[in-house]
């Protein structure tokens, strides 16, 4: 979709991080924006930032894990803007925990946001795209969706599922004129660590570790620009950052070696224990 001016773009998880970065990037293209998030205060701040850029912007608080809330928002967006041209599923959460220590409630929480959220939005907005034979869906997964990481196993599981969903959907709707991108960021300087749930690991130690990693991470604003680029160039899979690309490539070319290294890495994660 080369021309984004005047197109309606809906972004979930738009209050901060990659969602906010994407909102700024699409606003620069002259798109009309429908921004949704569960954090009302930060969402309104992001909306005001976009409006100051001259973009038409509509904001609503929604929990994407709720099919009913997503359905209501979809109806409201269509009433305000008409059909959505670009859907960007960014909303995501993370749990730092061994699989064995991840409770069913935590599984329901992370699956609800990371996987059911995109499923809900796709079910609402894909039919209109197919009918008009035009549209693009971006599912923000993670480099961790292309190679699993211990201690965030539940997160990697949901993100791998999102990659699979994106790939299958891309095949199904290609002839309908709809494009799908599995967008897999490497290290990105967001606040997701501050919102993580922890079991068996130290939040304070993780925050200290993350503060060091952020120095080499990509900014949310740059990541948002890459999302716009993926839509314009109709890319099916995008991996960001040198580290993310290198890790994914190593996992593809030398899977046995990577498994050995990752098992060793799990032992080194002792520095994050409580």
Render pLDDT for 150-201 as a digit per residue (tens, 0 to 9).
889 999 999 999 999 999 999 999 999 999 999 999 999 888 877 899 998 8
Cα–Cα distance, 170 to 239 (Å, whole number): 17
Residue 200 is predicted with a pLDDT of 87
- The superfamily in CATH containing domain 8-272 is NAD(P)-binding Rossmann-like Domain (3.40.50.720)
Q: What are the DSSP calls for the chain, one per residue?
A: ----TT-EEEEESTTSHHHHHHHHHHHHTT-EEEEEES-HHHHHHHHHHHHHTT--EEEEE--TT-HHHHHHHHHHHHHHHSS-SEEEE-----EEB-GGG--HHHHHHHHIIIIIHHHHHHHHHHHHHHHHT-EEEEEE--GGGTS--TTBHHHHHHHHHHHHHHHHHHHHHGGGTEEEEEEE--SB--SHHHH-EESSB-HHHHHHHHHHHGGGSBPHHHHHHHHHHHHHTT-SEEE-SHHHHHHHHHHHH-HHHHHHHHHHHHHHGGGGB-
- The pLDDT-based confidence of 92 (bands split at 50, 70, 90) is very high
- The pLDDT-based confidence of 48 (bands split at 50, 70, 90) is very high
Q: Average pLDDT, whole number, for the chain?
A: 93
Cα–Cα distance, 41 to 37 (Å, whole number): 10
Is 155 in the active site? yes
Strand 32-37 and strand 237-239: the pairing is unpaired
44: left (phi over 0), alpha (psi -120 to 50) or beta: alpha
Which of 156, 164, 14 has the alpha carbon at shortest distance from 90?
A: 14
> CA angle, 124 as apex, 228 and 230 as ends, to 5°?
15
- The pLDDT-based confidence of 214 (bands split at 50, 70, 90) is confident
Residue 273 is predicted with a pLDDT of 53
- The pLDDT-based confidence of 267 (bands split at 50, 70, 90) is low
Cα–Cα distance, 12 to 31 (Å, whole number): 15
Which of 160, 179, 161 has the alpha carbon at shortest distance from 170?
A: 179
Average pLDDT estimate for 222-227:
98
- The pLDDT-based confidence of 272 (bands split at 50, 70, 90) is low
**Sole residue written with tokens 């995501």:** 92
Residue 269 is predicted with a pLDDT of 54
Residue 221 is predicted with a pLDDT of 97
Which of 251, 224, 269, 12 has the alpha carbon at shortest distance from 144?
A: 251
Assess whether pLDDT exceeds 80 at residue 271.
Answer: no
**Sole residue written with tokens 């991080």:** 17
Residue 270 is predicted with a pLDDT of 53
Cα–Cα distance, 122 to 75 (Å, whole number): 14
Segment among 30-34, 70-74, 253-257, 265-269 with least mean pLDDT: 265-269
Domain residue ranges in the chain:
8-272
Bridge partner residues of 137 (DSSP):
87, 180
């Amino acid at each position: 979709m080369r021309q984004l001016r005047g197109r309606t773009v809906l972004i979930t998880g738009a209050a901060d991080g990659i969602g906010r970065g994407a909102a700024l990037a699409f606003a620069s293209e002259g798109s009309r924006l429908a921004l949704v998030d569960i954090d009302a205060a930060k969402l309104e701040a992001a909306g005001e930032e976009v409006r100051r850029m001259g973009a038409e912007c509509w904001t609503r608080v929604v929990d994407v894990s709720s099919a009913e809330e997503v359905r209501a928002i979809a109806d409201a967006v269509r009433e305000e803007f008409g059909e959505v041209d670009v859907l960007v599923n960014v909303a995501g959460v993370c749990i730092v925990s061994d699989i064995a220590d991840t409770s069913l409630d935590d599984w329901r929480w992370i699956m609800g946001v990371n996987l059911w959220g995109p499923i809900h939005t796709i079910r609402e907005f894909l039919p209109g795209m197919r009918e008009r034979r035009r549209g693009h869906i971006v599912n923000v997964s993670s480099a961790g969706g292309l190679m699993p990481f211990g201690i965030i196993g539940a997160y990697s599981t949901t993100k791998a599922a999102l990659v699979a969903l994106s790939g299958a959907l891309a095949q199904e709707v290609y002839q309908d004129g709809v494009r799908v991108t599995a967008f897999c960021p490497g290290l990105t300087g967001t606040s997701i660590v501050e919102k993580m749930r922890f079991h068996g690991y130290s939040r304070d130690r993780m925050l200290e570790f993350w503060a060091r990693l952020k120095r080499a991470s990509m900014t949310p604003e740059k990541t948002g620009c890459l999302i716009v680029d993926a839509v314009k160039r109709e890319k099916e899979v995008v991996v960001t950052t040198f580290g993310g690309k290198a890790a994914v490539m190593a996992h593809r070319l030398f899977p046995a070696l990577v498994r050995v290294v990752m098992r060793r890495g799990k032992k080194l994660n002792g520095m994050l224990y409580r």
